Copies of this chain bind each other. A is one copy, B any other.
């Protein structure tokens, strides 16, 4: 099968190089910006790809919703299989693309959009066919995991950890989506869409690591904890889907603590399979390219569906998910949640709440911040 590639940046280059060596696959034309077509295999118009009858698969690795969405529609309508690493695209337009793929009898796969090199969505979509998935989640953002690991293993400040992550190419020039948890949220949206046939687009909650300080790091370590940024999704007992991102504290027995540097850990819990955990590199040229290539090989083998065409956009309900939380607030600020323990440290106060809902915790933090208070919170992992 011949695979056309949209984008020739870090990942695109990796995809083309891997296609040259892969069984049953070969690289086709590569779409680049006008003026960048300095080699014969590069083209500057999408038509050159959709109208090329030798192209079987279009692999998009440009990022962003547009023009990626228009290109995806054009590829699917032209009867080309479509593979993407673009989580923003799938989070915004996944169900539409899944329907379009079905109508045109072609594949729509997006393993590389969640977990980088970790074959998480691939396995999840296969497990769904014969098992009931109860929950999904894990460490889905490598940039913040790298920063948290640096801060906790060396005592580095948040600003230094961010600057380090940028120097290493893990964090974008604008790291907002990573550090606020939005990137991890998009990934858990995709996992929910695959696992539960609902792409949650409302009622979502995300807390990142941008309130986590070196002082917080040293406090939680003194209590035997380590902090990771965790995305969680699942089916609540009332049938609704929950989906949220927040920092979580783990004690020394937790496998999450062994996930270091920019690694990801993705999990699902199947009614029959039990808990399945996958760890690997969450980003980078070759891990991401390898996920794109696995999807292409999977199309060779006959696979067509990752998100079912019946998948619909819907609301998340995080009111039934409860955790105890560690919360840092200024010493003179009261947290309007049931408190079990309290410890003053300098001008801050660390509180441990009773079990409260994710909804209640995120709303309380938001209200305090609107009043100008600096707040850090993290769920206490069970």
Asked if A148 CB lies within 8 Å of chain B CBs, one says: no
Complex Cα gap A279–B276 (Å): 6
Closest chain B residue, CB of each to CB of A117: B273
Query: Are A293 and B131 in contact (CB-based, < 8 A)?
Result: yes
Complex Cα gap A260–B127 (Å): 23
Q: How far is the CB of A351 from chain B (nearest CB, A)?
A: 29
Binding stretch for chain B, among A17-25, A41-49, A66-74, A331-339: A17-25
Complex Cα gap A302–B290 (Å): 21
| A229-266, CB < 8 A from B | 253-255, 257-260
Q: Which of A127, A277, A287 has the most CB of B within 10 A?
A: A277
Query: Are A129 and B300 in contact (CB-based, < 8 A)?
Result: yes
Binding stretch for chain B, among A118-126, A200-208, A319-327: A118-126
| A292-307, CB < 8 A from B | 293-294, 296-298, 300-304
Complex Cα gap A374–B357 (Å): 57
**Chain B residues near A366 (CB-CB < 8 A):** none
Q: With A24-B129, A257-B258 in contact, is A274–B280 under 8 Å at CB?
A: yes
Query: Are A131 and B298 in contact (CB-based, < 8 A)?
Result: no
B interface footprint on A154-175 (CB within 8 Å = 1, 0 otherwise): 0000000000000000000000
Asked if A79 CB lies within 8 Å of chain B CBs, one says: no
Query: Are B289 and A272 in contact (CB-based, < 8 A)?
Result: yes
| A73-120, CB < 8 A from B | 117-119
Asked if A270 CB lies within 8 Å of chain B CBs, one says: yes
Complex Cα gap A270–B117 (Å): 10
**Chain B residues near A21 (CB-CB < 8 A):** 130
Number of identical monomers bound together in the oligomeric complex: 2
**Chain B residues near A270 (CB-CB < 8 A):** 117, 290
Query: Are A127 and B279 in contact (CB-based, < 8 A)?
Result: no
Query: Are B273 and A287 in contact (CB-based, < 8 A)?
Result: yes
Asked if A369 CB lies within 8 Å of chain B CBs, one says: no
Closest chain B residue, CB of each to CB of A281: B274
Q: With A22-B129, A23-B130, A131-B293 in contact, is A274–B287 under 8 Å at CB?
A: yes
Q: How far is the CB of A135 from chain B (nearest CB, A)?
A: 14
Q: Could you list which residues of chain A lie within 8 angstroms of chain B, going by C-beta atoms? A: 14, 18, 21-25, 117-119, 122-123, 126-127, 129-131, 253-255, 257-260, 270-281, 284, 286-287, 289-291, 293-294, 296-298, 300-304
**20 cross-chain CB contacts under 8 A:** A18-B131, A23-B130, A117-B270, A117-B273, A118-B276, A119-B126, A122-B123, A126-B298, A129-B293, A130-B294, A255-B255, A272-B293, A273-B280, A273-B287, A277-B280, A278-B278, A301-B302, A301-B303, A301-B304, A302-B303
